[in-house]
Amino acid sequence: AGFVTMAGVRKRAQAPPPVVPLYTLWPGKNRFACGGRLMTGPKEDDNFRIVTLALIVLPMALFMWGAGVDLYDEMRPLFVTLCVLFSLTLVFLFLTSYLDPGIEPRVPGGQQENGQSLRKRVVDGVTITEMWCWTCKIYRLPGTSHCRDCDNCVNDWDHHCPFVGNCIGRRNYGFFTGFITCVSLSAAVMGASCIVVTAGDEWREHFSPSRVASMAVAAVMLFTLFIAVVLGCFTCFHMALICSNATTKEWCKAKDRRNLVRRNRMYRVLCACFEPSKLELRKPVPNPNVHVDVAVSDSGEGGGYTELL
């Protein structure tokens, strides 16, 4: 019997595991949290996301500090509506930022069919054209595009939004629509609340000595009304896209959608967000930094892993 030295124990303890979760080897620019359960976009979007969060939270904090009590006393239903819209805004922002937008799995080593970059298939009696992606090694379905910011092919790719830090695609477009809608409505309600509070007699009685609170509420009113108009127009634009069953990219390029075979936009807004992800980010795969000997089974065939990114 041999002796095990402390150096040998330490070496084995520090050795990398032979198998790791798939998300730790992800080739794109995404980042992951909670053991691969949450994913977001590249690090370059962090500053934009902080600005987005600040523009949502700070006006609400200033309003509650300057006029929240008065609004609660004078018009409680409006106060409750504002709080609900603010909460929904944060929820939709989180879901949009940290869920898989509909990324198509990569196939390392994938090959083109007959060396062709375009492939035609018949689906439900309609001929569709799929384009080859040289990065992901897959044929992209109609409506799928490769995002340069995240370096992934995303199903029903609408655009990459740095303000939420993620791509907007099939699995989070509904959450994104809910986010911009709630932001527009909450800004409009907050602006209206400022008008209601400042028009009352109690405002002059309670807040006339405090110029800081008065200026804060006035600034919040102007800012929120401006945001309500701008984001309101942006929300109406996406509602028009929903009605026309198009994405932002397709609208910009004026693509003919008659050869696209997929469910209507309303389904993708209300239901596609709850479709299961195609990514198996927590799936164990071999660690490329560790040499693993291939085990031979009783049948004489080698065992191993199939890498699918």
Q: How many CA atoms lie within 13 A of 3 on its CB side?
A: 3
- Residue 279: which of 131, 149, 169 has the closest Cα? 169
- Compute CA distances 112 → 49, 95, 107, 121, whole Å: 38, 35, 11, 14
What angle do the packed helices 76-98 and 46-74 form, to 10 degrees? 160
CB proximity list for 272: less than 8 A, separation 6 or greater? 102, 156, 170, 171, 173, 174, 263
Q: What is the DSSP letter of 284?
A: E
Give the active site residues: 161
Q: How far apart are CA 52 and CA 184, in angstroms?
A: 13
- What is the gyration radius of the CA atoms in the chain, in angstroms? 26
Assess contact for 164 and 171: CB atoms under 8 A: no
Q: How far apart are CA 114 and CA 91, in angstroms?
A: 47
